[in-house]
Chains A and B, each alone.
Chain A
Amino acid sequence: NAGVTQTPKFQVLKTGQSMTLQCAQDMNHEYMSWYRQDPGMGLRLIHYSVGAGITDQGEVPNGYNVSRSTTEDFPLRLLSAAPSQTSVYFCASSYDGPRNEQFFGPGTRLTVL
């Protein structure tokens, strides 16, 4: 089991560029989520999905899009990157929701210049 994998590990973008952060899990988990972590801010939920074809907004969804076409994959898209999106991004999954243990990926460190 690879668990939750994220690519890339590091990324530098210029303002206005677009990119997709990849997240995949091989545990057959229904629930997947994206968080961003800023210094001294803890983790904040961006988007989440309770199953393939279903997504919903979290606490800070603006500027991000997601889709869930398969159980395994949950990509996060930045359509037009802004410096305020400089952060560390974590993807997580759990069997049936955030009440139970979420397994986190290793994170993607994104810098927007």
Chain B
Amino acid sequence: GQQLNQSPQSMFIQEGEDVSMNCTSSSIFNTWLWYKQEPGEGPVLLIALYKAGELTSNGRLTAQFGITRKDSFLNISASIPSDVGIYFCAGLMGGSQGNLIFGKGTKLSVKP
């Protein structure tokens, strides 16, 4: 099946540092989504991207839809302890109502 390569797998950072993570694929996607999952809960949507080159912010989070439509990036500025969790990218191919493909996640740990 289709795969999204998400990196890094995990990050251990100091509070206040900036964070970058990305997803790449050999396939073209028409939608990129970034979700965050906290322990014991379901994922929650952070940012949705619908157009190549699109740059969208949500507070301290910024995500970009890659120009090639095969990748996406998520940046978190000035991290705080509540940023801890697993961040997932997810991609949807054109014309697909169903098959949202998730990356394997980036586990973020923030040291106060």
Number of interface residues of B (CB under 8 A): 25
Is there an interface contact between A104 and B100, defined as CB atoms closer than 8 Å? no
A92 to B44, CA, bound (A): 10
Which B85-105 residues sit within 8 Å CB-CB of chain A?
88, 90, 92, 97-105
Total A-B residue pairs with C-beta atoms closer than 8 Å? 66
Set of chain A residues within 8 Å of B100, measured between Cβ atoms: 33, 45, 98, 102
Is there an interface contact between A45 and B98, defined as CB atoms closer than 8 Å? yes
* Interface residue B1 (Cβ < 8 Å from any Cβ of A): yes
A4 to B42, CA, bound (A): 10
A98 to B96, CA, bound (A): 9
Set of chain B residues within 8 Å of A31, measured between Cβ atoms: 97
Set of chain B residues within 8 Å of A74, measured between Cβ atoms: none
Set of chain A residues within 8 Å of B101, measured between Cβ atoms: 45, 59
Is there an interface contact between A43 and B88, defined as CB atoms closer than 8 Å? yes
Which residues of B line the A interface, CB within 8 A? 1, 4, 6, 31, 33, 40-45, 48, 50, 88, 90, 92, 97-105
Pull 21 A–B residue pairs with CB atoms less than 8 Å apart, ordered by A: A35-B102, A41-B104, A42-B6, A42-B102, A42-B104, A42-B105, A45-B99, A45-B100, A48-B98, A50-B97, A50-B98, A59-B1, A98-B33, A98-B92, A98-B97, A99-B92, A102-B100, A104-B41, A104-B44, A105-B42, A107-B41
Which residues of A line the B interface, CB within 8 A? 4, 31, 33, 35, 40-45, 48, 50, 56, 58-59, 90, 92, 97-102, 104-107
